[in-house]
Amino acid sequence: TDNQKKYFQRMPDRKDLTMFKEEISRRFKAKQDQLVLIFAGKILKDGDSLSQHGIKDGLTVHLVIKTAHKAGDGGSTSASSSTSTQAGSTSTSSPPTNPSSTTGSTGSAPPPTQTPNILTGFGDLAGLAGLGMGSANFMELQQQMQRQLMSNPEMLSQIMENPLVQNMMSNPDLMRQMIMANPQMQQLMERNPEISHMLNNPELMRQTMELARNPAMMQEMMRNQDRALSNLESIPGGYNALRRMYTDIQEPMFSAAREQFGSNPFSALGGTSESGAQPSRTENREPLPNPWGPPNSSNPSESGAASTGSTSTTGGTNPSVSNPLGINPGSLGNGMFNSPGMQSLLQQISENPQLMQNMLSAPYMRSMMQSLAQNPELASQVLMNNPLFAGNPQLQEQFRAQLPIFLQQMQNPEALSVMTNPRAMQALMQIQQGLQTLQTEAPGLMPSLMTGGIPGIPTGGGLPAENPASSPSTAGANPAQQQLMQQMLQMFAGGGGGGSTQTPEVRFQSQLDQLNAMGFINREANLQALIATGGDINAAIERLLGSQPS
Amino acid sequence: CYTCVVSLHSLRMSIKFPRSFRLLEELEEGQKGGGDGTVSWGLADDDDMTLTHWNGMIIGPAKTVYDGRIYSLKIDCGTRYPEHPPHVRFVNKINLTGVNSSNGVVDIKSVTALSRWKNSYNIRMVLQELRQHMMMKENNRLSQPPEGQVYSN
């Protein structure tokens, strides 16, 4: 068999292959023309750069040394060895003290913090699954998810390896936007300029993301941060302020998180922070990416900024601004969703509407929805990243068109109250399930349902899931799914008030006015009639006349 | 929020969606150099959200006519992967049974180890089995086209 060896090669901090090849040629005593470098199925050509191929820390580049004699006897003709690059190049780690520096030198110094926050975000997701629905507090749930994730690093790496995640992360503008869109975040940033600095530093964010991909690094980094944190404790002012800020929000989470993360606080603001920006012991006050709502991801720790100081605490987990990237769980796509953690999480959620209610009533939800509504661009961006949309451009279009309406509805307190009504939610779920069963049982039926796109139900890839053998989201299924979604949305909109007339009232405002002008002064009755007739004034009038004797 | 509910449901449904999950795992493995160094694979295009188009590479085994050569392959994982095998074709010209000599397309059934495709098989296996295939008696002495030629499709 071929000669197999594994080498760990420190990468010089150059972007192109030339130096790399020089080093290799020296090391293996072969000429550069004999060297063929392969990464992920591609040959690296001279003039390519490592970062261009996405070669990062911990990944493997294959080396083939060609000899002049082909197919000679013996295996020595081509030695195949794997070189693990500890790349210190720009796209990867850099020493925590100088996060913005692009000259990485070695990979051993873990990049600045950000990552732990991201991780904790995912951790929450996983932890929730393992949760025994014990805590009604959504934030606690997040913490628990986090714990589970921490014990299951594979899941994290899976998530991080998701090209969708990477794609999103590679767009620092989007990240920043998402974060900025959150008013609490903005407050936080005012109070702590380092945060904004950090956000504006794409390098930093990228480093954090890189780190998030590597759980092993995470541990090391956390330890480093620990050390840094202890140094920071002496810094007056800023540190305390931040701590206070964080601890407020994290009150409920503290006890939950303490046991796990007691000794391993995440330093919040990433490398830059060194100076007093470290929330240090504070736990992750970032609500952490909400796996269910893309908008949530831009919702990091809002609550923090608004709260007033109270007791400090310990065992921080993630620093608040810890998750400036606000990783959008929505964009994690199937990779994450398929984990057993998510599955049980979902089951639990659907079985316990109370949980949903708690989650929804979390104050930051409201503000998040508001900020989202104010910035439809952001919302659409975020939602577009949802992989379930990815394969369905039609859906995307529809969604985009409906987005403003959708957001408006979200603002409707009635709508929100429905969301928090566990029975309503359950009913909604039942309906949706029923529709899906119907779809699989009688696919021909679906097209006869309403047409027109509906935003909101990104089940594009998922509905045919009843039949695992078949590929999900084939083109044929999509229209049916869209119709399903539309139905859902209509039902939702119609039932949005659960009997309340607020939405219809708005909708029928002009009709109401007309009825009023005609002399129908009983607004209630008018509204009822309009609802019953779906806004048809004439029919409503007939109803009104019919119901009123003489 | 509605999005949450809806996403939840979609999540639930997507639980039974193994393709992306699998391909993501394979992506990671490919980058970390799985497969003992004689094969390599990765996404052809980093922006390919559907994870369909892959590059593969096989290093010709020693003691065969393929020794010293590096074969590039294109692998497409369709929507029904991994229930269905991927489509594989060689980029570099090769004389190998089961490989169409005019376009490099691999008839996966002709590779014994892959002829009964299971959904537990993956890209790495495809590449490794093709490499094993090269070592078989019927193949390892076939005369090969000059190095560097590629199929024109």
| Interval A102-120: pLDDT, tens | 333 333 333 333 333 333 3
Cβ distance of B20 and A2 shorter than 8 Å = no
**Contacts (Cβ under 8 Å, ≥6 apart) of A208:** A111, A112, A113, A114, A115, A117, A118, A270, A325
Q: Nearest C-alpha of chain B: how many angstroms from A236?
A: 40
The Cα A33–Cα A465 span in angstroms is: 51
User: Is A335–B50 a contact, with Cβ atoms under 8 angstroms apart?
Assistant: no
pLDDT in tens, A69-85: 443 222 222 333 344 44
What percent of chain A stands above pLDDT 90? 0
Task: Name, in order, each residue with C-beta under 8 angstroms of A448's C-beta and a sequence gap of 6 or more.
Answer: none
Residue A73 at interface with chain B, using a CB cutoff of 8 Å: yes
Tell me which chain B residues have a C-beta less than 8 angstroms from the C-beta of A369: 1
Instruction: Over range A407-415, report the average pLDDT.
Output: 52
Q: Do A40 and B13 count as a contact with CB atoms less than 8 A apart? A: no
SS3 call for B143: coil
Mutation target vs B (from A67, A359, A471; most B CBs, 10 A cutoff): A471
Per the CB < 8 A criterion, the answer to whether A122 and A336 are in contact is yes
Which of B76, B66, B91 has its CA nearest to residue B123? B76
In which residue are the tokens 């490099």 written?
B104
User: Cβ contact (<8 Å) for A74 and B28?
Assistant: no
**Å between B148 CA and nearest CA of chain A:** 13
Tell me, yes or no, if A503 comes closer than 8 A to chain B by beta carbon. Answer: no
Q: Which of B22, B23, B24, B94 to mutate to test the interface with A (most CBs of A within 10 A)?
A: B24
**Predicted confidence band of residue B137 (pLDDT cuts 50, 70, 90):** very high
Q: Residue A398 is encoded by which pair of tokens?
A: 């529809």
Cα atoms in the 13 Å half-sphere on the side-chain side of A48? 16
From chain A, the residues in CB contact with B25 under 8 A are: 158
Q: How far, in Å, CA of A368 to CA of A408, rounded?
A: 13
Contacts of A290 in chain B (CB under 8 A): 4
CA distance B32 to chain A (A): 5
pLDDT-based confidence at residue A3 (cuts at 50, 70, 90): very low
The reply to whether residue A291 touches residue B60, judged by beta carbons under 8 angstroms, is no
Is residue A145 predicted with pLDDT exceeding 60?
no
For range A465-488, the mean pLDDT: 42
- Interface residue A294 vs chain B (CB under 8 A): yes
Structure tokens at A39: 């990464």
What does the pLDDT look like over A245-265, one tens digit per residue?
A: 444 444 333 333 333 333 333
Contacts for A17-25: CB closer than 8 Å, 24+ residues apart: A17/A44, A17/A45, A17/A46, A17/A47, A17/A48, A17/A49, A17/A50, A18/A46, A20/A50, A21/A46, A24/A63, A24/A83
3-class DSSP assignment, residue A81: strand
The residue among A411 and B138 whose pLDDT is bigger is: B138
Which DSSP string corresponds to A285-311? -S----TT-GGGGG-TTHHHHHSPP--
- Nearest chain A residue to B146, by CA: A70
List pLDDT tens digits, range A323-337: 333 333 333 333 333
Inter-axis angle of helices B2-14 and A422-441, to 10 degrees?
40
Which residue of chain B has the CA closest to A168? B47
What is the pLDDT at residue A187? 58
* DSSP H stretches of helix in A2-82: 17-28
Residue B87: which residues within 8 A CB-CB, separation 6 or more?
B75, B76, B78, B105
Strand partners, A360: none
Option in A41, A69, A337 nearest B11 (CB): A337
Q: Which residue has the higher pLDDT, A391 or B95?
A: B95
| Shortest Cα distance, chain B CAs vs residue A292, angstroms | 5
B2·A456 Cβ contact <8 A: yes
Give the DSSP per-residue string, A230-288.
HHHTT--THHHHHHHHHHHHHHHHHHHHHHHHTT-PPPTTTGGGGTT---TT----S--
> How high is the pLDDT of residue A54?
80
What is the gyration radius of the CA atoms in chain A, in angstroms? Answer: 27
Residues of A in contact with B27 (CB under 8 A): 161, 163
Confidence category of residue A442, pLDDT binned at 50, 70, 90: low
Length of chain B in terms of residues written: 153
Residue A22: helix, strand or coil by DSSP?
A: helix
- HSE on the CB side for A25, CA within 13 Å? 15
Chain A residues near residue B69 by CB distance under 8 angstroms:
70
Q: Which residues of A touch B66 (CB under 8 A)?
A: 71
Specify burial of residue A70 (Cβ count, 10 A radius: 0-12, 13-18, 19+): middle
Flag if B33 and A471 touch (Cβ within 8 Å): no
pLDDT digits (tens, 9 = 90+) for A385-401: 444 444 445 545 554 55
Q: What interhelical angle do A138-151 and A353-361 show, nearest 10?
A: 110
What distance in Å separates residue A183's CA from the closest CA in chain B? 19
User: In this complex, how many residue pairs, one in chain A and one in chain B, have their CB atoms less than 8 Å apart?
Assistant: 252
Taking Cα atoms as reference points, which of A343, A388, A341 lies closest to residue A123?
A341
Interface contact flag, A41 B14, Cβ < 8 Å = no
- Whether A356 sits inside 8 A of B49 (CB atoms) is no
Looking at residues A95-108, what average pLDDT do you find? Answer: 32
State whether residue A84 sits within 8 Å of chain B by CB: yes
Q: Is A62 on the interface with B (CB under 8 A)?
A: yes
The reported pTM is: 0.36
Encoded amino acid at B98, one letter:
G
CA A172 to CA A179: how far, in whole Å?
10
The whole-number pLDDT of residue B131 equals 95
pLDDT for the residue A52: 79
